[in-house]
Amino acid sequence: MLTADKTLMSTYNGSQFIGFAACFPRVLPRWLYARLFCPAKSNGNAAIPAPAGLRKVEAVLVESGIPEEDVEIVHPMRIRKAVDSDTRVVGVTTSDPLGKGPASSTFSSLIRREPYTAYYFRELLTHEALRSDDLRVIVGGPGVWQLADPNVRASLGIDCIVEGEAELVAPRLFRDALEGAPLPGTVSGGTVPMEKVPVMRGPTINGTVEVSRGCGRGCEFCNPNMRRVRHVPLEKILDEIRLNIPHSPKVTLHAEDVLRYKADGIVPDKDEVLRLFSEATKLTDDIGISHIALSSALSRPDLEEELADLLKCLGTGAHIYAQTGIETGSSRLVSRHMKGKAKPFSPEDWPEVVRESMKLLSGNGWVACGTLVLGMPGEQTDDVLRTLELVRDLRRYKSLIVPLFFVPLGEMTESDFFTPEGMLPEHWMLLAECIDHDFHWSGILMDELFSQNRMSGAKSRLMKFAAWYMQRRLKPYMETMKEGVSPLEGVAGLEEPPHAFEIGRQKAKA
């Protein structure tokens, strides 16, 4: 049986970006959060659609000789009915099991509440149906670094975690588990050649189809497995798009930088990218993108315009959404920790690369969701002020900016987590500027998003009400933060559920 927690088994109302709500602290009641941000869909016990990572594991297990009828991806809400006397192994994928990821740790440390990701992962792993001595539990996914402590694994009933990519090691591990052989506590999956990655056997969340793996820019705080870039052959990509379309016309092309598909080097190969999208649009007219790099966009400025034209986004009110990394406005920090991020430009050019790239994207119908890293090792007051200046300059471009606390990953595991206690006055000013930027654009973006996804009027109004309510609650603290003063005592008051939502929960129970 393969599964994941509820936050990973949702289409997020058709938008991957709404999935960021999984990292929010548990301020909303669970019933309202699930209805608005994390609606579930299954066919009996089976999860349809399912996370792309689980689909890859499902495919490689079947190709290894395990009978197809013996492998099933199960929705977490159906665990009780799905687990029976024949169930021997449970494989779980996770992105943020303990809420220590950059987004979750940032929001939860400010609001002082556990994020939904950690809550629902614990709910899944401690489910009574999974606490049998006869079951072996194997956990993989990008969040397994949080489960390195053997005591944590023992408390959650985890027998083995797989770090990195799973296609090469999963068949042997699952067979050993089926045969009752001992499992190692930790296994490294290594870097998998693309020819060893099978075509999926079922639809994925929001039609996610992988086009490349790895990044190759070498940022110190990134997972080492991301160092080597590999590309999926076009025909495999098209096969997986065809597999998804009967279930939903929406397809999301996924890579750390979709613009560098099949690039021979750091600069995008315009012809290969346009060929990818051209062939995809022959199969569906609803194509999304997961991630791009700002330096890639600026190095081929004609590519974004031609992609926008191809996807019929210019002049229609629709937009191309993509996540990207801004990280900092400090050239000094870029040079120190992530020189490759600016290539083919120099680290000294990074702030201008961000400005010009965001201008280019916005002018061609793109909406970038950019992340910042607060508290990077060695960050000083001047670095924060440069980032603050950059964010203010980006206010004119339709976008979202998500500030994240530094989390020690990659080559920086010996560094400390950044916490609110370490924030400079300038950090609070930067945080307030980001929140202000996002509230400025969120209403417009939600209207467009809801219209594109044809979401019910009632649900879209509820989501807008939630955003408005949070903005109203934060307003007094925003004024304090803009002055560079910590508002933590006031924000701690958000630990109590908003009164209006609590009334709604009680009515729903009645």
Torsion-angle region of residue 163: left (phi > 0), alpha (psi -120 to 50) or beta?
beta
Which SS3 state, helix, strand or coil, does residue 275 take?
A: helix
Q: Which helix (H) or strand (E) holds 3?
A: strand 2-4
Distance, CA of 284 to CA of 249 (rounded, Å): 6
- At position 82, the amino acid (one-letter code) is A
Q: What is the pLDDT of residue 319?
A: 74
pTM to 2 decimals? 0.89
Q: β-strand 186-188 against 160-163: which pairing, if any?
A: parallel
The neighbouring-strand residues paired with 90 are 137
The helix/strand count (H/E) of the chain reads as 18, 15
Distance, CA of 378 to CA of 333 (rounded, Å): 8
User: For residue range 113-161, what is the model confidence (pLDDT) as tens digits?
Assistant: 899 999 999 999 999 999 888 899 999 999 999 999 999 999 999 999 9
Closest CA to 445 of 482, 400, 395, 493: 400
User: For residue range 304-334, what is the model confidence (pLDDT) as tens digits?
Assistant: 999 988 987 655 456 788 999 999 999 999 9
The arithmetic mean of pLDDT across residues 469-475, rounded, is 76
Is the domain spanning 203-418 CATH 1.20.1420.30? The answer is no
Residue intervals in the chain for CATH 3.80.30.20: 203-418
Do residues 268 and 295 lie in contact, with contact meaning Cβ atoms separated by under 8 Å?
no
Out of 1-5, 397-401, 450-454, pick the least confident. 450-454
Q: Where are the alpha helices (DSSP H) in 169-228?
A: 170-178
Q: What is the pLDDT of residue 495?
A: 40
Q: What is the pLDDT of residue 128?
A: 93
Mean of pLDDT over the chain: 88
Name, in order, each residue with C-beta under 8 angstroms of 240's C-beta and a sequence gap of 6 or more: 199, 200, 204, 209, 210
Cα dihedral 318, 324, 330, 334 sign = negative
Distance, CA of 307 to CA of 324 (rounded, Å): 17
